[in-house]
C-alpha cells in the first residue's frame, strides 16, 4: 500500500514537472515574440533599415507644414547625423 502511494506521488511529480516545463517553454516562446516585436519597433532598428529622423529645432518633423524653404534641419541616420537645408517642399502627392 505504501509502495503504491509512493509510486503515485512519483507519477504526480513527473506530471507536475512536465506541465511546468511546458508552461515555461510556452512563456519563453511568447517572451521571444514580444522581444522581437519590440526590437522591430525600436527607433534604432528602424534607422538601421535605412530610414532617417528629421528634426527642426529639436522636434521631430512629422509634417511638411512644419518646414519652410531655407530652414535648417538635423537629420539622424543609423551612424550619425547631418545638417541639411530645406530647398523644396512638396505635399507628397
pTM: 0.61
Residue 11 CA from chain centroid, whole number: 42
Q: Contact at 8 Å (CB) between 67 and 86?
A: yes
Q: Where are the domains of the chain?
A: 2-41, 51-85
pLDDT digits (tens, 9 = 90+) for 25-77: 999 999 999 999 999 889 889 999 999 999 999 999 999 999 999 999 999 99
Give the residue carrying C-alpha cell 508552461: 23
Q: What's the rounded mean pLDDT across residues 3-17?
A: 93
**What are the backbone angles phi and psi of residue 56, rounded to the nearest 5°?**
-130, 125
Amino acid at each position: 500500500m505504501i509502495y503504491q502511494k509512493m509510486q503515485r506521488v512519483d507519477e504526480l511529480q513527473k506530471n507536475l514537472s512536465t506541465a511546468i516545463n511546458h508552461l515555461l517553454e510556452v512563456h519563453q516562446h511568447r517572451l521571444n515574440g514580444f522581444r522581437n516585436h519590440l526590437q522591430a519597433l525600436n527607433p534604432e532598428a528602424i534607422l538601421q533599415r535605412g530610414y532617417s529622423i528629421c528634426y527642426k529645432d529639436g522636434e521631430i518633423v512629422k509634417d511638411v507644414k512644419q518646414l519652410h524653404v531655407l530652414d535648417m534641419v538635423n537629420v539622424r541616420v543609423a551612424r550619425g547625423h547631418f545638417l541639411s537645408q530645406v530647398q523644396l517642399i512638396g505635399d507628397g502627392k
